[in-house]
Amino acid sequence: MTEQSAFKTLTSGDISADQFVRVGVNEQLSEQLQRPSISYWQDGLRRLKKNRVAMLSLGLLVFIILMCIFAPLIYPHSFDEQNIAITNQGPTWQHIFGLDDLGRDIFARIWIGGRVSLAIGVVGALVSLLIGVLYGGISGYFGGLVDDIMMRIVEILVGIPYMVVVIIVSVFLGKGMTSLLLALCMTSWTGLARLVRGQVLQLKESEYVMAAKVLGTPSYKIITRHLIPNTMSLIIINTTFSIPGFIFSEAFLSFLGMGIQPPLTSWGAMASLGQQQMAYYPHELIFPALALSITMLAFNLLGDGLRDAFDPKLRQ
């Protein structure tokens, strides 16, 4: 149909040509962005800020960390100061959380113990992060025989109960924070190594990795500059979840008497002492157990928020 015949068709009925307006195209408006372009990380942080539970957990963790750092410095009672005359005293204005069986202030010991528990959780998670990421990245990138050998080593380590490792390390190095950290870190990195390996196996077939190989980029640069950065969201989420796992493991071992030894203390060691007095002086168990539970809950809720924020399927 020609343009003239179409015009005659329109004018033959009730519709007239005067009722039509030529719209045209505004090239300047068509090229404008409807909303600002943001990166993957910016979008993840934006969604994380909208998650009230995750932000509340983050604020609570910041508060706990600040209290562990500064509370022992400004609190008038020392964590190892003993007062045998008033042992097992309940909470008072002078001693906020009461005293233990040796007359030591529980409030001061809570924050000193928090330093040890958080230090073990953070240091253990960072060590596992470093070993697991490098090990999984190398295994997934090279594949073949290298991957088979490295994964068989991981399977052997996974099959060893960490309690056996703790006992063996304690026999040779003695009980304490150093031997506890070493024992926990010896097998804790295997889970992250498997996750990173799976991601690298998928990413190494990408076009930008193939282009880097063609250009002669060394393997270690491809792993550290291309593959590992593209798995950072998975790594951050896994590390956030691993911190409370280390804290709980330390508390469990200290509760059994195989962890932190006096004069140092931790939340698990305090809970171990408190459970002996639980029937008559429950405050000696309640306060360290609350500190441990609240911290682990905050880390887990923050990890859930990070997982939701950095999930590509939920990106809008």
The residue with greater pLDDT, 311 or 261, is 261
Instruction: Give the pLDDT of residue 15.
Output: 63
Are 238 and 195 contacting, i.e. CB atoms less than 8 angstroms apart?
A: yes
Radius of gyration of the chain (CA): 30
Q: From residue 37, how far is each of 21, 129, 220, 287, 316 by CA, in Å?
A: 34, 31, 32, 48, 12
The 10s digit of each residue's pLDDT in 137-147 is: 888 888 889 88
- Name which of 61, 68, 180, 81 is nearest 127 in CA terms: 180
d(CA 167, CA 182): 12
The 10s digit of each residue's pLDDT in 156-179 is: 888 888 778 888 888 788 788 888
Are 158 and 190 contacting, i.e. CB atoms less than 8 angstroms apart?
A: yes
Answering whether pTM is above 0.75, one says: yes
Q: Which residues of 69-89 are buried (b: 16+ CB within 10 A; e: fewer)?
A: eebbeebebebeeeeeeeeeb
Name, in order, each residue with C-beta under 8 angstroms of 252's C-beta and a sequence gap of 6 or more.
259, 268
Confidence of residue 8 (pLDDT cuts 50, 70, 90): low
Domain ranges of the chain: 39-76+96-314
- Tell me which CATH homologous superfamily contains domain 39-76+96-314: MetI-like (1.10.3720.10)
Query: Which residue in the block uniquely carries the two structure tokens 């030529």?
Result: 22
